[in-house]
Amino acid sequence: MGNLSRRKVLAATVAIGATGVLGRPYIGNAQSKTATIWVGQGFVPQEDAALKETVASYEKESGNKIEYSIMPFMALYQKSISALTSGDVPDLIFSDAPTVVLPVNAFKDRLADMTDVVETQKAKFTETALLSSSFYNDTTKKRSYYLAPVKQASAPFHVWDELVTKAGMNLKDVPNRWDQRWEWFKKVQEPLRAQGGRKAYALGLQITTVGPNDGNNLFYHFLIAYGGRDLVTKDGKLHTGDPNVKEAAIRAVEQMTRAYKEGFVPPEALSWNDADDNNAYHEKLFVMSFDGTLSPELAIMTKRPDDYETNMRILGMPTAVDGTPMPAQVGAGGGFCPKLGKNVAVAKDFMKFFIRPEVMNANLKGGLGRWCPAIPDVVKNDSWWTDPKLDPHRSIYVQTTVLGPTHPNYIAFNPAIGQVNAEQLWGKCHADVIKNNMTPEQAVEKAFKRAETIFNKFTFEG
């Protein structure tokens, strides 16, 4: 299907979805009042436009008013931390990546319980979305829902198919086992350099010590692939003493650092932030990366339609190293309410509206599908999400994120992981091997000891 006709289909389906939202009256339970919300800026402009449409639909049907401020991710993160500490808060914070703020503030009893919101659609959510919305409160001594989930995302493999072909290889031959897949892509580098691509690299491994998110996410997938899934379990316990977890971490660090030292990864990867790898990928500095959402593709969809339609490809999740199905780590995004908000009732009412399947569907389609619905029936009942004829990437992404096996990000089990990630323990682990001549065993032992110290600050019954 040509690029023009594909965009026509996309526009038509989004319009139909939006009509579905407006065509179903919604009567808010709260009296006519105003709620203030802070919203993370979308990666593509269409996400912000979709949010505005959702707000307008809610206001029309409820009679309530939503005053929103849209801001970049880092600004939202910093402002949210400051507000929750000082108590000068909005009624709702809506974020793609709430786990950088939410778990520790739920632990400190700074957030409103969102169980009454989640219960309106609870039976429809994925188990992973629910686990990613439930956190421990150290004051109440129990878990509860503090997030109303709307969206979820995973990390697919992003590949320049044209570069694979130029190297004389074929994506049909890519192995379906995690470790073998990374090794296979190394083979593209030499042929590309022989054809004049002196700065071409095979892999965009985010072995960064800067972060904030991509390097941690990548390490956890390597860990799971090698059998270390139980690093943190649902009860919040850290299992660095488990021989299987330790062995998995050592093997993961060994494979990742070896790829760097062998020259298959750009040298600057050690200091990449979450945008740098996307920019390098767009410049075709490397052939393959493993990164969250469809942001690398959607960022150039209209600017470089030939690349989007023909030259880029994504691959779904391979098997783990032992050949068993490997779950994708999935995080949920949505809205949460500070306890000290002046009108939490209206904010909750807005989220009850937002998590309705037809509203969720229209909003996320309006955002071009960078995020998947947290309710599986949405994608099962709307071929826009699953028909490969409508888009070359989306159906694979949906299969990985919603329909295939998934596992919550570890932050869902214990807020201590938030500090582990913030300190970039795994990136430092790689740097210790690459720059400080440690063995993978020594580097993992050092990182695990620091993780244990952090977890000791967040002891609780899961």
What single string gives the DSSP state of each residue in 248-265? HHHHHHHHHHHHHHTT-S
In three state form, how does the secondary structure of 426-451 look?
Answer: HHHHHHHHHCCCCCHHHHHHHHHHHH
Q: Quick one: average pLDDT of 63-90?
A: 94
Report the chain's terminal Cα–Cα distance, integer Å.
50
Q: Alpha helix (H) ranges present in 226-289?
A: 243-261, 276-282
Phi, psi of 114 (to 5 degrees): -105, 15
The residue whose two tokens read 């096996």 is 405
Higher pLDDT, 43 or 366: 366
pLDDT in tens, 385-399: 999 999 999 999 999
Residue 32 pLDDT grade (very low, low, confident, very high; cuts 50, 70, 90): low
Closest CA to 414 of 152, 170, 236: 236
Please give the C-alpha separations between residue 453 and each of 31, 105, 211, 240, 449, in angstroms, as whole numbers: 48, 20, 21, 11, 6
Specify the pLDDT at position 9: 35
Query: How far is the C-alpha of 314 from the C-alpha of 78, rounded, in Å?
Result: 32
Residue reference for tokens 């993160």 = 77
396: tokens are: 């694979």
Tens digit of each residue's pLDDT (9 = 90 or more) over 416-437: 998 899 899 999 999 999 999 9
**Cα 128 from Cα 329, distance rounded (Å):** 9
Q: Residues 312-356: pLDDT tens digits?
A: 999 999 999 999 999 999 999 999 999 999 999 999 999 999 999
Inter-residue long-range contacts of 305-309, CB under 8 Å, 24+ positions, other chains counted: 305/3, 306/3, 308/3, 308/392, 309/2, 309/3, 309/6, 309/392
Please tell me whether residue 214 adopts helix, strand or coil conformation. Answer: helix
Query: Strand pairing partners for 438?
Result: none
Residues of the chain with CATH 3.40.190.10: 3-153+330-403, 157-316+423-455
For the stretch 192-246, pLDDT in tens is 999 987 789 999 999 999 877 889 999 999 999 999 999 999 999 999 999 999 9
For domain 3-153+330-403, the CATH architecture is 3-Layer(aba) Sandwich (3.40)
Task: Answer whether residue 14 shows pLDDT above 70.
Answer: no
pLDDT at 198: 74
pLDDT confidence band for 31 (50 / 70 / 90): low
The C-alpha atoms of residue 293 and residue 434 are separated, in whole angstroms, by 29
Percent of the chain whose predicted confidence (pLDDT) is above 90:
84
From residue 325, give the alpha-carbon distance in Å to each of 179, 225, 310, 311, 409: 14, 9, 29, 28, 17
Residue 23: what pLDDT?
38
The answer to whether domain 157-316+423-455 has CATH 2.60.40.290 is no
Pick left, alpha or beta for residue 31 (phi over 0 → left; psi -120 to 50 → alpha; otherwise beta). beta
**How many degrees, rounded to 5, is the angle at CA 392 between CA 301 and CA 159?**
80
CA distance linking residue 403 with residue 173, whole number of Å:
24
DSSP string, 56-113: HHHHHHH--EEEEEEE-HHHHHHHHHHHHHHS---SEEEESSGGGTHHHHHHTT-B--
Check if the beta carbon of residue 178 is closer than 8 Å to that of residue 225: yes
Residues 6 or more apart whose CB falls under 8 angstroms from that of 278 comprise 291, 295, 296, 299
Rg of the chain in Å (alpha carbons): 22
Look up the pTM and report it. 0.88
Condensed to tens digits (0 to 9), the pLDDT of residues 149-185 reads 999 999 999 999 999 999 999 999 999 999 999 999 9
Predicted local confidence at residue 15, as pLDDT: 38
- 401 has pLDDT over 60: yes
Task: Show the tokens assigned to 194.
Answer: 């022989």
The sign one gets for the Cα dihedral 427, 430, 434, 439 is positive
